[in-house]
Structure 1
Amino acid sequence: MLVGVDLGAPHFDGELQELGLLAETAGMDPVARLTCRRKAPDAALFVGSGKADEIRLLAEAEGAQEVLFDQALSPVQQRNLERAIGLPVNDRTLLILEIFAQRARSHEGKLQVELARLQYLSTRLVRRWSHLERQQGGIGGRGGPGETQIELDRRMIGESIKRTKERLIKVKRQRRTQRRQRERRETFNISLVGYTNAGKSTLFNALVKARAYAADQLFATLDTTTRQLYLDHAGAAEDGSAGRSVSLSDTVGFIRDLPHGLVEAFQATLQEAADADLLLHVVDAANPGFPEQMAEVQRVLHDIGAGGVPQLAVFNKLDALDESRRPHALQDTMDVEGRSVGRVFVSARTGEGLPLLRAELARRAQAAPPLNNPTSGPATPIGHNHGLHSRDLDE
């Protein structure tokens, strides 16, 4: 059963469509939906006792086995709701973590998901524990004298978080070594970013003829994939020069209310966007809510230090637009946070507009200033690295 509470936020999803897609992506089947409006969350039950009873009755009538809230719940609210409703209660944060745990494939991705999951669980040790009695001290006891089970569990999770962070530090050190190699190659780096299910992986496959996993679902791609993309620049045939190879990276999609712990845990993966020379901001042009989705992507980009990277807006799914909504021109400019950003309309599925996009990418890559060789000058600051390696990052 899906539950949403309108607290006055401008992006409230009254139909709970996105939460339903998240639930289906995690392998669940939504059987009922309920929304309500409150000025502020109830401290104990988030929705209040009367609405909690209504949720319980509707869940029983529809045969629901779990209740999912579209907003983040505190540990106390979650525990109280489970007692009042009599069913497991989870929130949007845990749902996203569950999807990430199912989809992560690379070693780094799995470590990042595990870290975010442990950090989430560390605040919810009071949930559903029936063994919180005092531990018995003495020889053979699991904890110290008088140590409660919850203290022991908290210490064990803390140790797991520490070990996972240490392993991620090693992975980041390997990435720094790889970045130094990319810098020496002086490769122009392009990263695909955008709201989840905007068609980034489909566009990636269309541009580089790759076979990265793409599906009409949320978070189909979690692990960054990089391929070489050869671009012919205008005038290459006349002056006898060759085109230019660039590195194109497909990254994880963003989503509204992305758990802050996930943003921190996926810092290494999202660093590909911060290190890019150009960001292709892929937008689902057929989604009426694309302005809100674009704003959310911009917020996350600022959070990871990629807010100042040059962008090119790619409005995808042109084939899904009604004739009345089709643009008069396939290339123009638009205002993004007070700055003019180039825009190209494409259909990654049919190929419409892709030649125009390739030409624009070639123009920008050709106009890019020569990249500094890090071996002959000062170190490149973090967040302004240039270039990517040409093989998969997730191999």
Structure 2
Amino acid sequence: MTDFAYTAIPLANAAAGSVTGRRAALDERALRDELRRQGLIAVDVRPVRVGDALRARLSGERLRRGEGAWFFQTLSLLLANNVPVESALATMQELAPRDRLARACADVREALRGGASLAEAVEKVDGLAGPQHLALLRSAQETGRLDHAVALIESSIAARERLRRTMVGRLVYPAILLVTAVIVVWLLATFVIPRFAETLQTLGADMPLATTITLVGARWMVWALPALFVLGALAAWVGPGVLNQAQRRAIGSAALRTPLVGSLIWYTQGGLVADILATTIAGGGDVLAGLKQAEDVVPSVALRERLARARKEVREGGDIGDAMRRHGVLPPVAAAIVQAGARSGDLVGVLRRASAVCAEKQDQLAQRLMTFMEPAVILFMAAVVGWVVYSLISGMMAINEAGLG
């Protein structure tokens, strides 16, 4: 899947002006066909560039993370009390804490009145839902379990926010220390150590190896460190939408091979696959439809390719549990649960249990990762500062020896 930026004209009301947005699709033709089915004629379609991502981020109309959480939390509460979707959206429009969020509720409600599904209506509002949430809404559209899908989205957002708060809380102190240390080291390497080099050259003395290495690093840090910081912040801000398929595959494969991080990604996305499959099958859909929904939404290209191979095997008559275990779609513990449960006939139940196991393991791995990262950051900072201090002392001793000589 590739992110595209598009400009389109509504067929029903061309005088209303053009519509712009971003959407993931297999290729440009697939996106044009999808827009045409929704009553839009694509005027311009192109892969997302950095400028598109920046404009989307800077747009005041884009919803924030907390606003999306409020939308699904409130919608889940109203649907659980048997309020119809359109009435729920009307109530949410009145109760919305911000005008931007009220407009989003109104836009979703208007799209529903125009015949769009809830997934299509939500997708039109930038920043309201991620791809995995849209996949759950699409599966609910096919199965009729909308309240369950919205509840899953709400719990997913809450779990992600809880994990984010935990990570931020655990890493604030070491991050402050690391940033401070980097600034101090950069200042020392930029202004102090070069003075040692000049003094030693004036005295005709040889510069110690440690000071030489630090000086070379200083020359690199003067220009490279600020540039790397800006590029890293920009990449984190605009997201992965500017990467092509090959780049995403390479990064995703490397991430899955990384200790702790790879397992965390695997359990997180494995739980998403199990949730989508269970929701689809519980509502009367078939396994292949659920696998296709999961394949369309899994962020990791490597896991998406594993899902495609598993779906092909199931389509050819293979057992879903065996296929998911053989192709590494789910982590071993979750795959064993599905494999055993598929033979008992309670596929939905075992998929729910597999999803719960993935969620529990995800929390454990996140805690373990935080436990590892906090001292690792402090040790790295201490090692860098210690090396710089050692190189400074070596330079001072060399100057002293040259002066005495």
Q: Same fold judged by TM-score > 0.5?
A: no
**Quick check: which has more Rg, 1 or 2?**
2
Class of the TM-score when normalised by the shorter of the 2 chains: under 0.3
Give the alignment's TM-score, normalised by structure 1.
0.26
More helix by share: 2
Give the alignment's TM-score, normalised by structure 2.
0.25
